[in-house]
Amino acid sequence: MALPKLTTPTYELEIPSTDEKIKYRPFLVKEEKILMMAMESKENADITQAVKDIVSECTFNKVKIDDMPMFDVEYIFLQIRSKSVGEVSKLKLLCPDDKKTYAEIDLNLTEVKVQVGEDHTNKIELENGMGIIMTYPTIDSFSKSGIKDINASNMLDVISNCILQIYEKNGEKTYDPKDQTKKELTDFIEQLNTKQFKDVQKFFDTMPKLKHEITIKNPKTKKESKIVLSGLNDFFA
């Protein structure tokens, strides 16, 4: 005799970048096992693939994970996790005042939102009508460096992957990065001056991301400090 099947609840969320409403469900034991195995392996490629697989399965394969901005995938995964394991996540955070004591807090994941930095724009003016139009990094942009922040070692790779268009004459002449080699894009980025490169960095610094400010209290010194959590990793510290 076949065993009865359990009913899995479904929920609805809005994708931050498009405001599109999609349905999702909590992850199941089999999917949680995949995630735990990936986390235990500490292999960035395994963790990335596990997150992609879980988001895809739990949204009923209705979203194109490979094309989505990283912050969309992080937000969807956070919502799935909150409905699967619990809306409150226990974090152990390093206290900024002495940089050696850890404080434990309970964070309500439903309060975490995607926030955009001040003066954010994806259009970067370089010189004399020449510029770059950027697009947001996808989860695959981080597959080699892990689901973490952009840093000096991967910056050029991430930038080249996020160039949507290069233009001249205020847009009268355009170049599609898909028609260029990796080396050609890297060479183009490396010829930017310091100010131009900082403008490109500002795009990444201010782009939408999971962000939440909390106050923690050092259990030893009793001093209170504000901490800004940013990116998926911080919410499972």
Indicate whether this model's pTM tops 0.95.
Answer: no
**Residues 48, 139 contacting (CB under 8 angstroms):** yes
pLDDT at 76 over 70: yes
Band of the pLDDT at 157, cuts 50, 70, 90? Answer: confident
> φ and ψ at 90, to 5 degrees?
-90, 120
Handedness of CA 78, 79, 82, 83 (dihedral sign): negative
Query: Tokens in use for 84?
Result: 């699967």
- In the chain, domain spans: 9-86, 87-116+211-237, 123-206
Tokens of 50: 């596990």
User: Mind listing the pLDDT tens digit for each residue in 158-208?
Assistant: 899 899 999 998 889 999 999 999 899 999 999 999 999 999 999 999 999
pLDDT digits (tens, 9 = 90+) for 80-106: 999 998 889 889 999 999 999 999 999
Q: DSSP class of residue 135?
A: -
Q: Does the pLDDT at position 146 exceed 50?
A: no
Other CB atoms within a 10 A radius of the CB of residue 129 amount to 13
Share of the chain above pLDDT 70, in %: 94
- What average pLDDT does range 11-35 have in this prediction? 93
Higher pLDDT: 142 or 26? It is 26
Please answer whether residues 139 and 52 qualify as being in contact, where contact means their C-beta atoms are separated by less than 8 angstroms.
Answer: yes
Instruction: Locate 122 and state its tokens.
Output: 């994806």
- CA–CA separation, 186 and 20 (whole Å): 34
pLDDT for 148 beyond 70: no
Q: Supply the pLDDT for residue 145.
A: 45
Q: How many CA atoms lie within 13 A of 145 on its CB side?
A: 16
